[in-house]
Amino acid sequence: MNMRTSNGVKYDVIIGLEIHAELATKSKMFCSCDNDAQGKEPNTAVCPICLAHPGTLPLPNKQAIEWTILIGLALNCRINELSKFDRKNYFYPDLPKGYQISQYDLPIAYDGFLEVDDKPILITRIHLEEDTGKLIHPAGKAYSLVDYNRAGTPLIELVTEPIIKDAATAKKFAQNYQQILRFLDISNADMEKGEMRCEANISIQEKSKWKYANGQIKPIGDYKLNPKVELKNINSFKYLEKAVDYEIERQIKAVENGEKLIQETRGWNNDKSITFSQRVKETSADYRYFPEPDIPPLKINQAWIDKIKARIGELPAQKIKRFKEEYLFSDYESRILAGDQDLAKYTEQVVSELRAWIKATGDNWERQKHKLAKATANWLINELFKLLKTDNLSIKKLKISAENFAEFIALTYQGKVNSSAAQTILAEMYKNGGDPTQIMADLGLEQLDDKETLEKVIAKIILKNKPQAEQYKAGKTNVLQFFIGQIMSATKGKANPKLVLELLKASLSK
Ligand code: ZN
Ligand code: MN
């Protein structure tokens, strides 16, 4: 949906995103303090530099610069050969210097794009800066506390062009960006922990009364543009979508009611599901940006860019595409299996083991791979994930090696175990690891395929349940389920279900 209608007037929705992400470097942006303050006492991961003691000098973190170039290249950006840091001046208790070292007119990366549903969303810039400390407001107390552990953490800020037209696309953009940050292993980008923070600039305009050109929104004729509202304090993708949707509706209603919209910053209230005014927005002039005098400009030459570029592997979108083409996974399966670096690696190891096994049996891999990939995806997504989710574990903690998982798939594929026995084997492998063939033998779970044995069991059960057998002959075919249940329990769930059904029908019809 890119257009809202109200009272017969049509509106265009204009959304731009600003996303901050903390880089997971070892040390902070301008000093050698530990950048991981998780679980540390407040104000223990600090030094005179990040506390802004007089006379200290900032020394830029090379890793942070390289990672900013890396994410820029991954998002199809151009890299400024000459970049620099600037001071953004403002006062806030969590900002010890009284200014933030950021980048103003020469960001490291600019002019890129990230695809959402196969459509490029243009990225204006990605620059590098430092994070602030954290203010803590103890409940019921008349004071606030400040923790500077986070002060000086490297922070990258991505800004999109104001060309997003609906809340769902804004959410997907942020999700895809998070996926790439994690793929490149440069940020945990957890929104709940504040490692990734999204802000959305939103305005609505009467349709066709404005145009977007040269990076700016311009009115047509003497038509006035509505001011934009900046949404802040959103800590999940779900709330990002909700807040943007709420704000679009609020602005349209305001215009319809003849209320004047003002340029302001609004926050999101999770409990009430509304946005609320926080402050009237500063313009960049208020920040009085000027070049950081203590850090020389950054020269980024092509050789350095090429070296970093060589490190970018396959990105999520490419991997998803390849999973579909190469392994014939469905779109849904590919998005899940290729969407996470560790899971993608595991899946590929499993498939590669299966390929080796099929080749060893002398069969044709190309002919069998669809069925095997399907079985792999099914067991991974529908069974293994459920177990991992129950225990809140990541695939990294999985005790089942790719080799053993492939062997497990091969067992089910060959029909050596039926699906209920397979579930038992998988649960055991999940708990203690181990070889599935061995587990199958130890637990006596090998599928019962012997016709004579099964016929004997079936005959006994029919004899014990004569009334039900009569019902079947009278046309009540749903008693089959009753018999199958009896047979399965008599064989401890090991009987081949297909064969059981076939033999049972034959015996009952005698
Ligand atoms: Zn420090
Ligand atoms: Mn910023």
- Centre of ligand 1 to C-alpha 100, Å, is 14
- Centre of ligand 1 to C-alpha 81, Å, is 28
- Centre of ligand 1 to C-alpha 32, Å, is 6
Angle at 445 between CA 444 and CA 449, to 5 degrees: 110
Answer for the pair 171, 237: CB distance below 8 angstroms, yes or no.
yes
How many CA atoms lie within 13 Å of 457's alpha carbon, on the beta-carbon side? 26
> Rg of the chain over CA atoms, in angstroms?
31
Q: Which ligand is nearest to the CA of 132?
A: 2
Give the global pTM.
0.81
Give every CB contact of residue 465 below 8 A, 6+ residues apart in sequence.
Answer: 482, 483, 486
- Centre of ligand 2 to C-alpha 250, Å, is 26
In angstroms, rounded to a whole number, what is the distance separating the alpha carbons of residues 451 and 492? 16
- Centre of ligand 1 to C-alpha 49, Å, is 5
Residue 450 or 351, more confident: 351
* Token pair in block for residue 88: 């953004």
- Centre of ligand 1 to C-alpha 132, Å, is 12
- Centre of ligand 1 to C-alpha 25, Å, is 13
Q: Which ligand is nearest to the CA of 130?
A: 2
Give residues whose Cβ lies within 5 Å of ion ligand 2.
Answer: 157
Answer for the pair 50, 30: CB distance below 8 angstroms, yes or no.
yes
Answer for the pair 156, 108: CB distance below 8 angstroms, yes or no.
no
Q: Assign 3-class secondary structure to 199-250.
A: EEEEEEEECCCEEEECCEEEECCCCCCCCCEEEEEECCHHHHHHHHHHHHHH
In angstroms, rounded to a whole number, what is the distance separating the alpha carbons of residues 310 and 484? 59
Q: Which bin fits 140, alpha (ψ -120 to 50), beta or left (φ > 0)?
A: left
Burial (CB < 10 A; 0-12, 13-18, 19+), residue 483, is buried
Q: How many helices (H) and strands (E) does the chain have?
A: 16, 19
The pLDDT score that the predictor gives to residue 313 is 86
- Centre of ligand 1 to C-alpha 148, Å, is 9
In angstroms, rounded to a whole number, what is the distance separating the alpha carbons of residues 119 and 110? 18
- Centre of ligand 1 to C-alpha 28, Å, is 7
Which residue(s) pair with 264 in the sheet?
Answer: 229, 280
**How are beta strands 229-234 and 264-269 bridged, if at all?**
parallel
* Token pair in block for residue 143: 């004071």
Give first-to-last CA distance, the chain, whole Å.
Answer: 63
Average pLDDT over residues 70-89: 97
Q: Which ligand is nearest to the CA of 45?
A: 1
Q: CA 298 → CA 70, 282, 312, distances in Å?
A: 16, 28, 22
* Token pair in block for residue 290: 């000027």
- Centre of ligand 1 to C-alpha 175, Å, is 31
Give me the chain's average pLDDT, please: 92
Burial (CB < 10 A; 0-12, 13-18, 19+), residue 142, is exposed
The pLDDT score that the predictor gives to residue 448 is 84
Answer for the pair 97, 126: CB distance below 8 angstroms, yes or no.
no
Answer for the pair 80, 107: CB distance below 8 angstroms, yes or no.
yes
Place of tokens 């922990």: 193
Q: Which ligand is nearest to the CA of 32?
A: 1
Digit-coded pLDDT (tens) for 247-282? 999 999 999 899 989 999 999 998 999 999 988 866
**How are beta strands 86-89 and 290-291 bridged, if at all?**
antiparallel
- Centre of ligand 1 to C-alpha 383, Å, is 46
- Centre of ligand 1 to C-alpha 192, Å, is 25
The pLDDT score that the predictor gives to residue 498 is 86
Digit-coded pLDDT (tens) for 317-336? 899 999 999 999 999 999 99
State the chain's maximal CA–CA distance in angstroms. 99
Give residues whose Cβ lies within 5 Å of ion ligand 1.
Answer: 31, 33, 47, 49-50
Digit-coded pLDDT (tens) for 457-470? 999 999 999 999 99
Domains of the chain: 316-443 (no CATH), 451-508 (1.10.10.410)
- Centre of ligand 2 to C-alpha 100, Å, is 9
pLDDT band, residue 418 (cuts 50/70/90): confident
